[in-house]
């Protein structure tokens, strides 16, 4: 029988959760403060700890630190009625498995407990056991998630607000899902939920929006991540304006191949996006692999740039992911007037004047076209499955990318 310890100074939380968890087959221990919780923890060594952050005398962060100092593999789920993404990020950095916002539901608690216990058991499986259940078929690949929870911290490009996010493993057939903190609403990273496609790709649920998701989606696309939970407030951090830090974070978490497969979307006929302005062009056609050819035509100092990307993860990491967001100073002034772009900093955006780059040294002579490919890779993953096909693009942005994804959905779903 699995043991659960609940540490919360609200007696009604203990009284409500305990019988529910006992009905699910757990042996439950309760503590009304941090010191009592530590004492019970050292004696009983529970499999799961449900820990309130805000408690008098010894708060949840101190308790979490003490639990982790003990060095066992208990799954710690942090809860709070006054949560922020900063609190969640701090807790996960210290070793918490997940963060839940009050009011709690038994369904959400059981889901997190199940994920945590399943992840711990996975670590104990042998290599041969992990080979069971490989899917067959020409266009079937294995589903993947990450091996452990990780945190990312930075500012939002358009909000300018310090923000962070937590990436968590998810089981097969879940897909990529954003969970808004603190509201708790979950929004699938799927084309049907796309909300804003001007200066960034965003998704919207019933009452919450998550913005600037394209770099994270591109990284998931190229690393083959199909199942992931992203806890975030209103905007994915821009980091240095590229996706290279996200690559490092995904590798830090490790990539776990799952038993179930997912079918790639293999393009069998040419699809051309119609009714575009004369200078824009976008199509996808049959190919035996994923590839992108992009032509960027812009006045100097950018000029005409062309790049062909052959969709391997290694090439993505070295040649596409480091390419940063760029824009002209005059455009950021307009964005600021619209309440956007206020997170653009000297160290996270390539800023241009009519004479040239004003704030940094380019990582590639053609960094601008490479970044356009980065955005396109991310937008194309809003079908939550790999694509086998050749994309040819000229002068397109998020709006055209999303239009192509909608066309793909109408034909293949």
- Predicted confidence at residue 36, as pLDDT, reads 95
Beta strand 27-31 with 387-394 is unpaired
What pLDDT is stored for residue 244 in this prediction? 97
For the chain, list residues with pLDDT below 70. 72, 82-83, 120-138, 156-161, 196-198, 331-347
Torsion of CA 203, 285, 312, 127, to 10 degrees: 80
Catalytic residue among 180, 221, 371, 398: 398
At residue 334, the pLDDT reads 53
CA atoms within 13 A on the CB side of 334: 6
Spatial contact of 177 and 230, defined as CB atoms under 8 Å apart: yes
**Nearest-angstrom CA–CA distance, 291 and 316:** 11
Q: Is 398 a catalytic residue?
A: yes
What integer pLDDT is reported at residue 269 of this predicted model?
95
Give the H/E segment covering residue 108. helix 106-122
pTM assigned to the model? 0.80
Q: What is the pLDDT of residues 55-75, one digit of tens each?
A: 888 888 899 999 998 876 899
Q: Which domains does the chain have, with CATH numbers?
A: 3-122 (3.40.50.2300), 138-263 (3.30.230.20), 265-412 (3.30.1700.10)
Q: Which pLDDT belongs to residue 198?
A: 66
List of residues 6+ apart from 120 with CB closer than 8 A: 73, 75
pLDDT tens, position by position, 178-201: 999 878 899 999 999 998 666 789
DSSP state of 10: -
- pLDDT, one tens digit per residue, over 326-360 is 988 876 655 454 444 444 445 578 999 989 999 89
296: Cβ contacts below 8 Å, ≥ 6 apart: 302, 304, 305, 306, 368, 369, 372, 394, 395
């Amino acid at each position: 029988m699995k043991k659960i310890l609940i540490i919360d100074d609200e007696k009604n939380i203990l009284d409500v959760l305990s019988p529910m968890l006992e009905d699910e087959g757990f042996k439950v221990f309760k503590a009304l403060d941090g010191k009592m919780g530590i004492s019970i923890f050292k004696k009983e060594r529970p499999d799961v700890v449900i820990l309130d952050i805000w408690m008098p005398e010894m708060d949840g962060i101190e308790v979490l630190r003490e639990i982790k100092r003990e060095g066992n593999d208990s799954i710690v789920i942090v809860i709070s009625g006054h949560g922020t993404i900063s609190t969640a990020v701090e807790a996960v950095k210290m070793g918490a498995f997940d963060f839940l916002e009050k009011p709690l539901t038994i369904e959400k608690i059981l889901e997190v407990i199940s994920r945590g216990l399943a992840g711990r058991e996975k670590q104990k499986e042998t290599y041969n056991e992990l080979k069971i259940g490989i899917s067959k078929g020409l266009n079937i690949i294995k589903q993947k998630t990450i091996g452990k929870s990780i945190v990312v911290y930075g500012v939002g490009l358009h909000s300018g607000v310090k923000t962070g996010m937590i990436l968590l493993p998810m089981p097969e057939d879940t897909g990529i899902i954003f969970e808004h903190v603190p509201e708790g609403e979950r929004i699938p990273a799927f084309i049907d939920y796309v909300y804003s496609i001007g200066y960034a790709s965003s998704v919207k649920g019933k009452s919450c929006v998550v913005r600037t998701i394209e770099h994270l989606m591109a990284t998931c696309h190229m690393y083959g991540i199909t199942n992931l939970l992203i806890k975030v407030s209103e905007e994915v951090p821009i980091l240095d304006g590229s996706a290279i830090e996200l690559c490092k974070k995904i590798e830090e978490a490790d990539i776990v191949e799952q038993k179930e497969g997912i079918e790639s979307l293999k393009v069998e006929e040419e699809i051309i996006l119609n009714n575009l302005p004369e200078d824009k062009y976008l199509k996808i056609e049959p190919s035996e692999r994923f590839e992108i050819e992009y032509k960027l035509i812009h006045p100097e100092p950018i000029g005409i740039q062309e790049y062909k990307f052959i969709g391997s993860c290694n090439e993505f990491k070295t040649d596409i992911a480091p390419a940063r967001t760029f824009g002209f100073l005059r455009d950021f002034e307009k964005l600021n007037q619209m309440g956007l772009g206020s997170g653009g900093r000297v160290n996270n955006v390539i800023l241009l004047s009519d004479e040239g780059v004003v704030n940094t040294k380019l990582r590639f002579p053609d960094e601008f076209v490479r970044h356009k490919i980065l955005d396109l890779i991310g937008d194309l993953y809003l079908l939550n499955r790999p694509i086998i096909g050749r994309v040819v693009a000229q002068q397109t942005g998020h709006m055209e990318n999303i239009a192509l994804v909608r066309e793909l959905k109408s034909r293949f779903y």
